[in-house]
Amino acid sequence: MRLLLFLFSIFVWSSVVCGQDQHCPHFSGAVKHRLEEQGRWLASTSLQNRILQRSRVFGALVKIEQCKHLLDLIRDGDFVVGGLYFVVDGSPFEALVGRYRGTWTMAVVPYYKTNVLDANLLEITQHKWTLFHRDKDGARGILATGDY
């Protein structure tokens, strides 16, 4: 019972923190240059809209990562951050975000196993993004790709 209450409080908190009406910071000068060095997509205004056309879940996640978790993502070297919970269209999801040798990867799983996602993996390089579906055996199929 306590676990259920704890999980419910996480979802309520994440709904408030990751709301659709959040405002993204805008940077210029040296800060914007640093962002572009770490990951050009962090400062891209068009990337979220392009991904949103293909996947509402990843469009929301990109917005969250660009806005709310920006300071956590500006770090040198490779890393992985897990445990981000967010809600899209009333359905809860969990995400894993990482960077390895300049390629950013975001993986999303629905909290409830009954929810099915077409795209569950997003890779972002310096100029290109790719949405994948990865099955339980590790095979990946490309669903969409684009430049930004």
Q: pLDDT tens digits, residue range 9-28?
A: 444 444 444 444 456 666 67
Give the pLDDT of residue 25.
64
Rounded to two decimals, the pTM is: 0.71
What ranges do the domains of the chain cover? Answer: 40-147
Q: Which two tokens stand for residue 73?
A: 């993502």
Give the pLDDT of residue 8.
43
**Residues 108 and 114 sit within 8 Å (Cβ to Cβ):** no
Q: Of 117, 113, 120, 49, whose CA–CA distance to 89 is shortest?
A: 117
At 23-72, the pLDDT tens digits run: 666 667 887 777 777 777 877 878 889 999 999 999 999 988 887 656 55
Give the pLDDT of residue 107.
95
The CA-based diameter of the chain, rounded to the nearest angstrom, is 51
**Residues 24 and 63 sit within 8 Å (Cβ to Cβ):** yes
At 94-109, the pLDDT tens digits run: 999 998 988 999 999 9
